Structure 1
Amino acid sequence: MKGEIVLKILFFDIDTLRADHMGCYGYDRNTSPVMDSVAKEGVCFDNYYCPNAPCLPSRASLVSGQYGIHNGIVGHGGTTADMRLQGDTRRFTDSISDNGLFMQFRKGGFNTVSFSTFAERHSAWWFNSGFNECYNVGGHGEESAEEITPLVLDWLERHKEKDNWMLHIHYWDPHTPYRTPADRKNRFDKEKLSDNWITEDIFKEHLLHIGPHSANEVAMWNDSVNPKYPKQPGKLRNLDEVKQLIDLYDDGVKYTDENIGMVLDYLKKNNLYGDDLAIIITADHGEDLGEFGVYAEHGMADEPVCRIPLIIKWPGMEGGRHVQGFYDNVDLLPTITELLGTEIAENYQFDGRSFAPALLRGEDCSKPYAVLTQCAHVCQRSVRFENYIYIRTLHGGYHLLPDEMLFDLEEDPHEQNNLAKARPELCNKGARMILNWVDEMMKTSAFDVDPLWTVIREGGPYHCKGRLKQYEERLAGTSREFGITELEEKYKGFD
């Protein structure tokens, strides 16, 4: 197909966009009307996951089409924050750079452009492979959409007469700390939360929670407020403040949606929003907003963090559909390859499988389950199957989490009722799925180490290392002092 395609592609890459806080995924707040409108024209994947959370591991799996157990990136620091070296099979260029997601657009004959600070923020320069142009505003991931959208509109104005371009547009606004402009009035502060699941009793439990990003330490390890981001509180003292934090998150989603609307409005006004325009909307991960007593962080391998949106509008497909079944972000690389007719080198190993038939013909391309890994804040491996998520915790990131957790997400979407003791047969089923998956991944790995265990051997998750004693000092003399003994017992040998 190379050379035959006449197409314009917008790839909206939104940081920390929790799927169930969007209208097209059932949210009743009007956070995402623009993205919802694209979903009505396109296809919305209802159970799409980031298999490696959070930011850096997720985008590594997205770009490489490989799970972190193969590409090596499962954390935010140490050995597992870098792609594994290819070794003696490496040629003049490495295989991920030659075959990665954005390189497929370039191979397809597109002028590829990225508006993102991600590569610099994580020293992940492989992310830029395949882009002809990269625009970095220098915010290191702390910029807001008003710094990005004008650059996008300027580029479009200068290239509006041209075809065959792909714009990767990265918005950070739903990411903690929540940072909409200082003069912006929150769109939701007067609007009630219908899903008011955090009751007085639940919040009392949250005030006793041990671990980072709790109600007492929204800032991770303390209750400080960053003067650059005064909207985000350092701690939560009551349910009104819980609501205000969720309002802030939702307004970050809304602000992102409004900026996407500016880009689409420009295209419509200039007669560029037609049948030859493709749109992809997705995220790197979601966010916990009270689940497990964690606020404003993406530090678990659980449903709110790992379930992400995927909306695709593509020429030649029937729009307005929702796709069921389990998919994850390693599947996007082979899908784009099939849609564009590009080729991946014979010796390149990717883990995903194309869902182009689901887009174009409504065929079921789903997987029976999705395995999820988080090693930046905790060390967890989970499996999403049927209505359930089964979570194994190897290192709880100084949260006092059970080693095994099982939740029925249909009955318990906020993961409050751990069924592990009541349903051991389902725990056994989930554990076997994870074991079988790890075995299959290791059989096809060029390395003999699961990088999850590299994180453990290097002292635990990056965001926890060196924090335990300091955190225990914070707990001393408070109503949570009981946690010191439990932390010492559970994390003996760490820190």
Structure 2
Amino acid sequence: MKKTNVIVFGIDSLRRDFMSGYGYHHLTTPHMDKIASEGVLFENHFSPSIPTTPAYASMLTGMDCFGTDVVALRHEGPMGNHVKTLAEVLGENGYNTTCVGFSNNPSSRGFQNYLDYEAWMPDESGRCPKAENLNDVAIPELKRLNDEDEPFFLFLRHMDPHSPYLPPRPFERIFYDGNEKDPSNHTMESVYNFKPHADFFKSWIPEGVTDKNYVEAQYEGAIAYMDACIQNIFATVEDLGIEEETLIVLTSDHGETLYEHDCYFDHHGMYDNCLVVPLIMKFPGKLPEGKRITDTTVIQDVMPTILEVMGIQTDTNYNGRSLLHFVNGNELPQVSEFYITECTWMRKHGWRTPEWKLIQALEPDFHFKPEIELYNLVKDPEENHNVAEREPEVVALLQKRMEDYIARREAETGRINPMYTNTNYHGLGTGPMKSSQEAYDHLYLGSITNARRLQSK
């Protein structure tokens, strides 16, 4: 009998609060919801290090950002050889490994095969069928892997919730029935006036769109479209007769900002809309059905959990924990607070507790936000009211907790906090920004083509 196969859906930019299985008011993810009903859903799962590269690094190594030494989107140099990726560990244990949609990135190191698909550029209809493009390469590869004698690890990086949001018809309007070009609607003016990203937005948002709800509906539609296409993969697993021997993992690298906090249609910033991600696991006969875990979990827990479910042991001390203890009804030490970082278009770090969120800039940002932000997550869960000036004692307390944690992790790893050393995160070679105006004038995204090129690096 074969060892356990594993398929990981590492969906880019998927907010858990936009999934119907997590309580969203629109039916966006019925097929993934069904998988959750047949497995385990983690209700409070977080990705502490934004954006893509550090998040996947933690997901696929079981380490935090100190363990991976990766914090920036445009990470310079390889990810350290002091850590092994999930692909490397499984490869050493006789697995065939394939990665779809995530080549040329240090966080996806160690796969035997890399397959790419078009996930950025629209077709002649002006839309991009990202998930169907993925299926076109992933499903034949799934069948090929199944035909081999060895077990397999298939990693799928879906890009539909990542801007540009370009779901094909009819998904672009299943959650919107308004007039997206209403001249009396001015909600898109601030988007088009944000110089660093305005040209990127105009390269994929249809000309004349004035309603921000239309663009948000594209995000919803992209999720629903992707969910429908993912069902095709679930059906293939069923048709191949390998449901009972295949672990399914559905998760994301980070969330997305739509119209919140002036960080339009992107995922920079450390507000909870970027930190909240789904985690769903299904393995018939090995994991319970319909179980929901309310304890806080973090992205570096994914790899240790997968390895324990699969019965594979290593001599690595992971920063993450196997979540099987929760699944089996046992207790684990609670995650009551954690370090958060963001190194995309801004360089910031902070500290999150169940009640408070501290955000501290390491250099001026292009949104002209204050150096210190403090939010009461109980009274202000949407993080709209910065109370740093009113609560200096809380700021000082959280700063001390954060600084003590940084010092401890630096001592444990023997390396400087990567947030302090990644000053060229923007790729301009100019070092830290001296002012918000400098950042605003020089950090420019451009078109879809340029965004794809930046992502590929």
After superposition, the Cα gap between the structure-2 partners of 1:29 and 1:463, relative to the gap in structure 1 and judged at 3 Å, is farther
- Equivalent-residue separation in structure 2 for 1:373 and 1:36 (angstroms): 30
Q: State the partner residue of 2:117.
A: 137
Which digits, 9 at most, give the CA deviation of each residue in 1:286-308, with x for residues without a partner?
11112212210101122111121
Equivalent in 82, 88, 93 of residue 77 of structure 2: 82
Change (3 A) 1:5 1:154: closer
Q: What's the counterpart of residue 393 of structure 1? A: 361
Aligned residues: 427
Once residues 236 and 215 of structure 1 are traced to their aligned partners in structure 2, the CA distance between those partners, rounded to angstroms, is: 11
Alignment correspondent of 2:418: 451
Q: 1:104 aligns with which of 89, 105, 125?
A: 89
The aligned counterpart of 2:99 is: 114
Q: Which runs of 5+ in 2 are unaligned?
A: 123-127, 444-457
Counterparts of 2:409 and 2:131, CA distance in 1: 38
Could you tell me which amino acid in structure 1 is paired with residue 139 of structure 2?
Answer: L
1:284-303 equivalences under 5 Å are: 284-303=253-272
Q: 1:390 to 1:224 in 2, by over 3 A?
A: closer
Q: Which AA in structure 2 matches 1:34? A: H
Contact 2:167–2:225 (CA under 8 A) maintained in structure 1: yes
Cα 1:217/1:437, change in 2 over 3 Å: farther
Counterpart in the other structure of 2:140: 154
Structure 1 residues 223, 263: closer, same or farther in 2, change over 3 A? same
Which amino acid in structure 2 is aligned with residue 64 of structure 1?
A: T
**Matches of 2:220 and 2:397, distance apart in 1:** 36
Post-superposition offset of 1:175: 0.5
Shift of 1:386: 1.5
Shift of 1:16: 0.4
Alignment of structure 1 residues 178-217 onto 2, 5 Å: 178-181=165-168, 185-190=172-177, 215-217=191-193
Q: Is the 8 A contact 1:54 1:284 kept in 2?
A: yes
3-state SS, counterpart of residue 400 of structure 1: coil
CA distance in 2, matches of 1:425, 1:322: 36
- Would the alpha carbon gap of residues 174 and 248 (structure 1) be closer, same or farther in structure 2, given more than 3 Å must change? same
Task: Provide the rounded CA distance (Å) in 2 between the counterparts of 1:445 and 1:367.
Answer: 21
Offset from partner CA, 1:448-493 (integer Å, 9 cap, x none):
x32212234x4x745897995695599xxxxxxxxxxxxxxxxxxx
- Paired with 1:148 and 1:292, the residues of 2 have a C-alpha distance of 32
| AA matched with 2:273 | P
- Match for residue 320 of structure 1? 290
After superposition, the C-alpha distances for 1:92-134 in whole angstroms (9 at most, x for unaligned) are xx443xx212223334443222212x223xxx256140x2332
* One-letter code aligned to 2:249: I
User: Contact conserved, 1:74 with 1:81, CA < 8 A, in 2?
Assistant: no
Contact 1:221 1:471 in 2 (8 A): no
- C-alpha change, 1:82 and 1:66, in structure 2 (3 Å) is farther
Match of residue 407 from structure 2: 439
Matches within 5 A, 1:221-370: 221-223=197-199, 227=203, 229=204, 232=205, 237=210, 241-273=211-243, 275-314=244-283, 315-345=285-315, 350-370=318-338
Distance 1:184 1:48, change over 3 A: closer
Q: Determine the structure 1 residue equivalent to 2:12.
A: 15
CA positional deviation for 1:215: 1.9
For residues 206 and 99 of structure 2, what CA distance do their matches in structure 1 show?
32
SS in 1 for 2:213: helix
TM-score under structure 1 normalisation? 0.76
Q: TM-score, normalised by structure 2?
A: 0.82
Please state how far the C-alpha of 1:160 moved relative to its aligned partner: 4.7
- Runs of at least 4 residues off by over 6 Å: 140-143, 463-467
Give the residue type in structure 2 aligned to 1:23: S
Q: Distance in 2 between matches of 1:145 and 1:218?
A: 30
CA contact (8 A) 1:108 1:340 kept: no
- Pairwise CA distance, 1:271: 3.7
Quick one: distance in 2 between partners of 1:468 and 1:294? 16
Deviation readout 1:401-434 (Å, 9 max, x if unpaired): 1222222334433211223233334333322221
Aligned partner of 2:29 in structure 1 is 32
How much has 1:223 moved relative to structure 2? 4.2
- Structure-2 separation of matches of 1:303 and 1:367: 16
Structure 1 alignment gaps of length 5 or more: 86-93, 193-199, 208-213, 475-495
| Mapped pair 1:127 → 2:108 | yes
Residue type of the alignment partner of 1:262: N
Shift of 1:68: 2.3
Q: CA-to-partner distance for each residue in 1:329-353, whole Å, 9 max, x for gaps?
A: 12222222323333334xx564222
User: Once the 2 structures are TM-superposed, how far is the Cα of residue 166 of structure 1 from its aligned partner?
Assistant: 2.3
Correspondence list, 1:364-383, <5 A: 364-383=332-351
Decide whether the 8 Å contact of 2:5 with 2:246 is kept in 1: yes
Give the corresponding residue for 1:47: 44
1:417 alignment counterpart: 385
Q: What is the alpha-carbon distance in structure 2 between the residues aligned to residue 235 and residue 436 of structure 1?
A: 51
Q: Over the residues paired in the alignment, what is the CA RMSD in angstroms?
A: 3.4
Structure-2 change in CA distance of 1:303 and 1:29 (3 Å): same
Tell whether 2:18 aligns with 1:57. Answer: no
Q: Deviations over 1:23-54 (max 9, x none)?
A: 12221111111111111122222222222110
Greater shift, 351-360 or 300-309, is seen at 351-360
The answer (yes or no) to whether the contact 2:119–2:159 under 8 Å persists in 1 is: no
Q: What is the distance in 1 between the residues matched to 2:154 and 2:90?
A: 10
